[in-house]
């Protein structure tokens, strides 16, 4: 029999996170809005560091990090639930104690230099595969890595790199064998900023601040190859596949928060002698939004469960990513509509979420790419209809 309930420990983690977000993080939203209006960073790095330390002091650190590295090892499902809770605020806060999954592929020396300091919050990484001519088609990357004695020399450009402006090292993917390409000719390198790569911010319509990274004769020692030479594309797919379910997870939290705002506003906003919550046009928007949020929630948790069980989660993650992005954009549009002119102003945070959530249909695989993946899996028989829990 299927059991959709959370265990006592899981409920405690969820409730602890929700309380922390409500008490410690949400009060900073007005600071974020003021800072962004003035052209400053949303929050000072010290503020985020202090919040993370408060969480750590409370025993909350590294939800999905193995216990041997000081984490809680609660798995992908709880990571998704935590992301739903942190998604309830637009303050750029995430709990600490985590590292990109492919850093665990490093050797012991690399783990000491990169993995453990990242988990501890002492170092910041970024994942660099997207290029000006290789976004959805990751196989088309052109950044080159060539042997030079015992080192590698990297030349190329990466774009739309999340965290690239703040990272002190990157995991960069470069072609080391053009003839083999993605099938044995792409390698992942751990490249410190002081090795010579540069970053510049890319202005966007939202508050996401990606970077353009440039590599000009950047010399990297051979011991900085992550994994094996030529096997970088498999690592890239592992990074993308393992984390894709986290995108709709955050969107679910944002959509639930906004729908709650819309319900509250509909009760107090009067038109023609009645609260607008009395009108069917408003009720249907509220109902449709709730149905879509719940649908995305269970698709996302199913994808996370597959990751946690060590199953091939790519198909389920594509479904969750597609539905989650569409859901979030539909919900925020309805919420803005329910708020009317006030929703369009900067006095309320709805317009900020409106801009921010539009990104979900583009990054980490566009809607079109998700549809292509889903359809291809069905047509080729990689995914089958009518199965439950397989």
Distance from C-alpha of 161 to C-alpha of 262, rounded to nearest angstrom: 34
Residue 292 lies in a domain: yes
Distance from C-alpha of 90 to C-alpha of 87, rounded to nearest angstrom: 7
Does residue 367 share a domain with residue 269?
Answer: yes
Does residue 343 share a domain with residue 260?
Answer: yes
Torsion on CA atoms 69, 72, 75, 80, rounded to nearest 10: -110
Residue 59 has a pLDDT of: 84
DSSP state of 356: H
Does residue 320 share a domain with residue 203?
Answer: no
Q: How are beta strands 186-192 and 169-175 bridged, if at all? A: antiparallel
Does residue 277 share a domain with residue 195?
Answer: no
CATH number for position 330: 1.20.140.10
Residue 116 lies in a domain: no
Residue 67 lies in a domain: yes
Residue 320 lies in a domain: yes
CATH number for position 57: 1.10.540.10
Does residue 27 share a domain with residue 65?
Answer: yes
Per-residue pLDDT tens digits for 323-342: 999 999 999 999 999 999 99
Does residue 197 share a domain with residue 323?
Answer: no
Active-site choice (157, 292, 364, 368):
364
Distance from C-alpha of 251 to C-alpha of 374, rounded to nearest angstrom: 21
Residue 147 has a pLDDT of: 94
Of 358, 389, 390, give the one whose Cα is nearest residue 2: 389
Residue 135 has a pLDDT of: 62
Does residue 345 share a domain with residue 282?
Answer: yes
Residue 341 lies in a domain: yes
Residue 241 has a pLDDT of: 67
Residue 237 lies in a domain: no
158: Cβ–Cβ under 8 A, 6 or more apart, which residues? 128, 129, 130, 131, 143, 164, 170, 172, 212, 213, 215
Q: Is 67 one of the catalytic residues?
A: no
**What are the C-alpha distances in Å from 240 to residues 7, 244, 363?**
29, 6, 11
Name the H helices within the chain: 8-20, 29-37, 45-57, 75-86, 108-110, 116-119, 232-243, 246-268, 280-308, 314-339, 341-344, 350-357, 367-379
Does residue 289 share a domain with residue 314?
Answer: yes
Residues in the chain with pLDDT < 70?
Answer: 1-2, 134-138, 241-242, 389-390
Q: Final residue of a domain: which of 232, 267, 300?
A: 232
Quick check: helix, strand or coil at residue 85? Answer: helix
Residue 38 has a pLDDT of: 80
What range does the domain containing 65 cover? 8-98
Does residue 365 share a domain with residue 256?
Answer: yes
Distance from C-alpha of 74 to C-alpha of 87, rounded to nearest angstrom: 19
Per-residue pLDDT tens digits for 157-191: 999 999 999 999 999 999 999 888 778 899 999 99
CATH number for position 182: 2.40.110.10
Does residue 256 share a domain with residue 372?
Answer: yes
CA angle 286, 292, 296 (to 5 degrees): 145
Q: Which two tokens stand for residue 193?
A: 């900023």
Quote the distance between the C-alpha of residue 66 and its chain's center. Answer: 20
Does residue 326 share a domain with residue 219?
Answer: no
Does residue 70 share a domain with residue 37?
Answer: yes
Residue 335 lies in a domain: yes
Q: Final residue of a domain: which of 232, 259, 279?
A: 232
Count of domains for the chain? 3
Residue 138 has a pLDDT of: 64
Q: Which two tokens stand for residue 205?
A: 């319509």
Residue 194 lies in a domain: yes
Q: Final residue of a domain: which of 79, 98, 117?
A: 98
């Amino acid at each position: 029999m299927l059991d959709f309930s959370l265990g006592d420990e899981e409920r405690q983690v969820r409730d602890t996170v929700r309380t922390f977000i409500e008490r410690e993080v949400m009060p900073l939203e007005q600071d974020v809005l003021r800072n962004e209006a003035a052209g400053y960073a949303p929050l000072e790095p010290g503020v985020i560091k202090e919040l993370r330390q408060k969480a750590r002091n409370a025993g909350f650190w590294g939800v999905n990090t193995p216990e041997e590295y000081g984490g809680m090892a609660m798995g992908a499902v709880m990571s998704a639930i935590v992301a739903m809770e942190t998604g309830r605020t637009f303050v750029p806060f995430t709990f600490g104690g985590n590292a990109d999954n492919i850093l665990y592929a490093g050797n012991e020396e690399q783990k000491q230099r990169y993995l453990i300091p990242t988990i501890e919050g002492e170092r910041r990484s970024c994942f660099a595969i997207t290029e000006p001519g290789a976004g959805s088609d990751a196989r088309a990357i052109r950044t080159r890595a060539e042997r030079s004695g015992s080192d590698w020399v990297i030349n190329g450009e990466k774009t739309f790199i999340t965290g690239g402006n703040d990272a002190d090292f990157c995991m960069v993917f470069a072609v080391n064998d053009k003839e083999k390409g993605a099938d044995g000719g792409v390698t992942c390198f751990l490249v410190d900023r002081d090795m010579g790569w540069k970053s510049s911010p890319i202005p966007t319509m939202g508050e996401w601040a990606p970077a353009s990274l440039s590599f000009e004769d950047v010399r990297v020692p051979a011991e900085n190859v992550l994994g094996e030479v030529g096997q970088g594309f498999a690592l890239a797919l592992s990074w993308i596949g393992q984390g894709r379910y986290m995108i709709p997870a955050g969107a679910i939290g944002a959509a639930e928060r906004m729908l709650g705002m819309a319900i509250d506003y509909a009760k107090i906003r009067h038109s023609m002698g009645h609260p607008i919550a009395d009108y069917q046009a408003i009720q249907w928007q509220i109902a449709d939004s709730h149905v879509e949020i719940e649908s995305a929630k269970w698709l996302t948790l199913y994808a996370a469960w597959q990751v946690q069980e060590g199953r091939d989660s790519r198909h389920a993650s594509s479904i969750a990513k597609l539905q989650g992005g569409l859901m979030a954009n539909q919900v925020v549009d309805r919420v803005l509509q329910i708020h009317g002119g006030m929703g369009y102003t900067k006095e309320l945070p709805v317009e900020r979420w409106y801009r921010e959530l539009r990104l979900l249909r583009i990054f980490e695989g566009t809607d079109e790419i998700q549809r292509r993946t889903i359809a291809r899996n069905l047509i080729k028989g990689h995914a089958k209809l009518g199965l439950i829990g397989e």
